[in-house]
Each structure stands twice: as structure tokens, then as C-alpha cells.
Amino acid sequence: MGTVFIGLRGDRAETDLANDADVEILLQMTLAQAYRPGKIGLSFELFPPKTEKGMAALFRHAGRLAEFQPNYITCTYGAGGSTQNRTLDVISGILEKYNLPVATHLTCVGRTPEELRDYLSRAIGLGIQNVVALRGDPPQGETEFRPVEGGFSYADELVAFIRAEFADMGIAVGGYPETHQEAPSPEVDIENLKRKVDAGADVIITQLFYNNGDFFDFCERCQKAGINVPIVPGLLPVTNGAQVQRIASLCGAKLPAKFLADLQKHEDDAAGQFEVGVEFATQQTADLLEAGVAGIHYYVLNKSEAAERVLNAVSLPR
């Protein structure tokens, strides 16, 4: 396939390779095709902003991220209808502006199979070929997940539904190097992950983590369980120490003591914390690449600066 060059405004370079046929092939690629021997699959995750100002900022940052020619960009999905529409606005906009494959997140929260079918049909109508299938967190104010009447209780049920009704879509699922907080044990967590893969998932994208040893141990346990799809580490470069501690506490991720101490040295210095976070993420990325991971997925929080710095400092086989 010819190379497609992405510019800051989504302009394609005028070469004999970057023609409309090449772009069409690129946009039809599924998640399973993003990870190939000798190549590193690169992806970024966005979330739907609540305001038009936030949406404009998102597309400015997405344009900068597009310069790295990611294999795809994802956008999260909330339980409310307006948030879901925003998700489609974000990813269809990325698709249109930057000629990049995209993936919509999708959860079981508050939706019947009929409503999920309608959402996926709309997504496909917009040219979206991929989905990140998750159970989803309980709605705000609730501590326990409860499906709607007739809805799905587990992510593997959602994966099986998508695979049966939208067979050509690429499907990613979530993995938890430090074990899902609701799982009674790491062994049960891997069994649940195996069910999602057996239901039809093409790739696993992990929750954020800050100890690469946890990721390598997780991969080893997956391999022993017979999970053979690509496992992609999810990284959140730290730009704000207090913010990342809140996020990490929500998903059960641990921050190394030295990393925390380095951040705390710059407690009242935002620029200093940013530099510490970028340095840590750069080293974390470099170590993962050296170990031969299938790809890297960055949680960028709708910003581009930290990911840019990291990617400019490492060498990805693209």
C-alpha cells in the first residue's frame, strides 16, 4: 500500500503513492491489520468535549497527533445520548479531516441490544470500521453495574453481539495489567479476558500502568491462558501530578515511589511536573519498544504536547 502523508490541516502530500485509492484502503483497515511483524501500531485515545471551544481545541491537537501517522484514533463513549453523539462527531471529524482510521468506544451501560445495533449502524454509515468494546463503569452515583432489561452484563457478550451482527468490524477489548478492580483474583480476570478474545476480539488494549514489569507479567499470564491476539500497552504521559493520581486511583494503577517523589519535588511547578512526566513516559515507551511490543496506545486527554515530545524522542518502526 502506498504511503499516505498527513499534514497539520489534514492535507495529503502530492505524490504518486498518496492517491484516493490508497486513502480508501487505509480507511478500510481494521484493528487486526494495525499490528504486523516488524511494525509498531500507534494509536491515540480522545474523549468527547462538552463545549464547542473544547471541540475546536481537540481538533487542533488531533491535527498535531495526525502528523505521526497513527494507525487509528479512538474516542470514548458515555452513557448519555448527547455524549454518544459527541463521540460520533469527534471520530467522524477525525476521519474527514485527517484521513485516518478511527474507532468508537462502546459500552453495555444503559443500552439494549437494539440501541447498540442502531449506534453501530450509524457509525458504519459514517465510515467507522472499528470499535473498542467495554462493559463500562456503573453510572455516576452507583457502585454496582446493572444491565438494562434485556441488555448485556459483560463485555464478552457485547463482543459476541458485534461479531455476529457486524462481522467485518475490528474489535478491541480492555486488559488490566494490575487486575480489574472488581475481579476477585488475577486468575479470574485473565479468564474473563480470555472469554472476550474467544468471543471475537482482535486486539487487547491495556488500562494505563506505570510499571512495565506489571505489563510483562500480564502478557506472560495471557500467553499461558492461550490468549494470542496482540496486547497493546496503554500509556498516559503525566502532565499534572494531582490529576494522574486521581485517574490512577480510579483504575487501580500504582505509581512508582520514585516517580511520585520526583513529581512532588515540583508540586507548585506545572512546567517541572510536565518535564518529569515526559521523561518518565519516554523511558517507559523506549523500554516497551525494546521488548518488542505490538504497539503503543496513548491516552492523551485531548492534548498533544506530551505525546509529541515522547514520540519525537523515541524511534518507532513505522
Question: Is the dihedral angle over the CA atoms 303, 248, 287, 197 positive or is it negative?
Answer: negative
Q: How far apart are CA 4 and CA 91, in angstroms?
A: 19
pTM here?
Answer: 0.89
pLDDT in tens, the chain (318 residues): 222 222 222 333 333 334 554 545 455 667 988 998 888 999 999 999 999 999 999 999 999 999 999 999 999 986 554 567 899 999 999 999 999 999 999 999 989 999 999 999 999 999 999 999 999 887 766 777 888 899 999 999 999 999 999 999 999 999 999 999 999 999 999 999 999 999 999 999 999 999 999 999 999 999 999 999 999 999 999 999 888 888 888 888 999 999 999 999 998 999 999 999 999 999 999 999 999 999 999 999 999 999 999 999 998 876
The single residue of 45, 157, 178, 308 carrying the catalytic annotation is 45
Q: Which secondary-structure segment (H or E) carries 75?
A: strand 72-75
CB 86 within 8 A of CB 58: no
CB 170 within 8 A of CB 131: yes
CB 193 within 8 A of CB 227: yes
The alpha-helical segments, DSSP class H, found in the chain are 20-27, 52-66, 81-98, 113-125, 155-165, 186-198, 212-224, 241-251, 257-264, 270-290, 305-313
Q: Which CATH number fits domain 20-237+295-311: 2.40.240.20, 3.20.20.220, 3.30.540.10, 3.40.190.10?
A: 3.20.20.220
Task: Name which of 175, 183, 182, 184 is nearest 214 in CA terms.
Answer: 175
C-alpha cell at 132: 473498542
C-alpha cell at 67: 502528523
279 has catalytic annotation: no
- Terminal CA-CA length for the chain: 13
- pLDDT for position 316: 82
User: Mutual orientation of helices 241-251 and 257-264 as an angle, nearest 10°?
Assistant: 150
Q: Per-domain residue ranges for the chain?
A: 20-237+295-311
Task: Name which of 27, 44, 202 is nearest 127 in CA terms.
Answer: 27
Which residues contact residue 72 at a Cβ distance below 8 angstroms, ignoring those fewer than 6 apart? 29, 31, 34, 43, 100, 101, 102, 103, 130
